[in-house]
Amino acid sequence: MSLTRPTRTEMINKQVRFKLNANAASLSILLFLQVLAFFLVVSSTVSFGAGEISVVESSTASHAALTIFWAFFSGISLGSAAKWNEAFTFVSTRLTHHLSSFIYMMVVSFMASLMAILAGPAARLITYMRYEEVMQSTQTITEAPGDFLIQFITAFAYILMVFVMGYTIQSFFQANRLLGGLYIIVIVAFLFTINLMLGISVVSAIVFAFIQETSLVLFLLKVIGAIILLMSLSIWMTNRLEVRKS
């Protein structure tokens, strides 16, 4: 029996450090994907009668897509049974586990968004050095420093939200492998029914609510709302789960 009683903050702090160390390999996976994205440049050749026009479109779209892809699967990995068991090696409660997971996701999402955003000027440099004439649709940091900051905030919000989404989906399965799958089937069936009966695509409506938002403040409020909802679902789903499964 321990004579010291750790505070919640101390527990969270210790767990965040542990999670950062235990999941350090995911940073290398992200790095690998980021490097890979530099090679994904779309190009095509169009023939126009007497001549030929070759089009090379260099963009950081693949950096964004691969980072989002990474965040989703990292979220799923973080919520897995193995990680759940690892978390309770220390003095911990279900709530501190989820809170420390969330802080971990914030820290890693911050690093991922930094990589995804800094890939922009880096890809621009490579493109400009490789080709003589480049038509650009984005302003440089010198021209619009505010845009760079806004891009970073947007990237961070999207990456964190997708990370939490993966974590929540895994929590459903964690709670009960069979019931978790059943819940997801019920949700998908419900969404399909609404689509068939009312002609409203709920998934599209949710996606568009984020990607078509024009106000940054409203977008951030929506993201915060979605994260609170998803994290609450995770906590609720795993509330009665054993702290350690042998």
Partner 1 sequence: MDDESIRGEKIIMGIFTVLPIVLLIMILILAMVGKGFIRKGILSFNRKFHFWAAFGFIGLLLIMTILAEVLYPTSQVSKAPPKMDNHFPYSLKAYNAISDDVIEGKKVDSPLLVASRTHEVGDQLEIMHRGEFYDFPMIYIERSDTASNTVEEYVYKPYMFVNDYDYTEQLNLHLPTWQDDTMTIVDMVDFQLNLVSFSDASLFKQFTSAGLGTVFSGGVGSSSASPIIHLIVPEDVEVIAPFDDVMFVEDMREEW
Residues in 16-45 at the binding interface with partner 1, rule: CB under 8 A: 21, 24-25, 27-36, 39-40, 42-45
Q: Which of 93, 128, 177, 242 binds partner 1 (CB under 8 A)?
A: 128
- Assigned token pair, 237: 């789903």
Please give the DSSP secondary-structure letter assigned to residue 137: S
Question: Is 123 a residue that touches partner 1 (CB under 8 A)?
Answer: yes
The Cα–Cα gap between 85 and 244 comes to: 5
Question: Is 61 a residue that touches partner 1 (CB under 8 A)?
Answer: yes
Piece of 97-105, 150-158, 178-186, 189-197 that binds partner 1 (CB under 8 A)? 150-158
The Cα–Cα gap between 60 and 117 comes to: 9
Q: Which of 53, 196, 197, 198 binds partner 1 (CB under 8 A)?
A: 53
Question: Is 4 a residue that touches partner 1 (CB under 8 A)?
Answer: no
Question: Is 77 a residue that touches partner 1 (CB under 8 A)?
Answer: no
Which residue, chain included where needed, has tokens 């999941």? 23
Whether the Cβ atoms of residue 149 and residue 103 lie closer than 8 Å to each other: no
How distant is the alpha carbon of residue 97 from its chain centre?
19
Question: Is 228 a residue that touches partner 1 (CB under 8 A)?
Answer: no
Which C-beta is closer to partner 1: that of 118 or that of 202?
Answer: 118
Piece of 3-11, 95-103, 147-155, 191-199 that binds partner 1 (CB under 8 A)? 147-155
- Assigned token pair, 89: 């090696």
Whether the Cβ atoms of residue 55 and residue 45 lie closer than 8 Å to each other: yes
Q: What's the first-to-final CA gap in the chain, in angstroms?
A: 22
Binding mask 80-109 for partner 1 (x = CB under 8 A): ------------------------------
Question: Is 47 a residue that touches partner 1 (CB under 8 A)?
Answer: yes
Q: Which of 4, 7, 142, 246 binds partner 1 (CB under 8 A)?
A: 142
Q: Which amino acid is at 222?
A: K
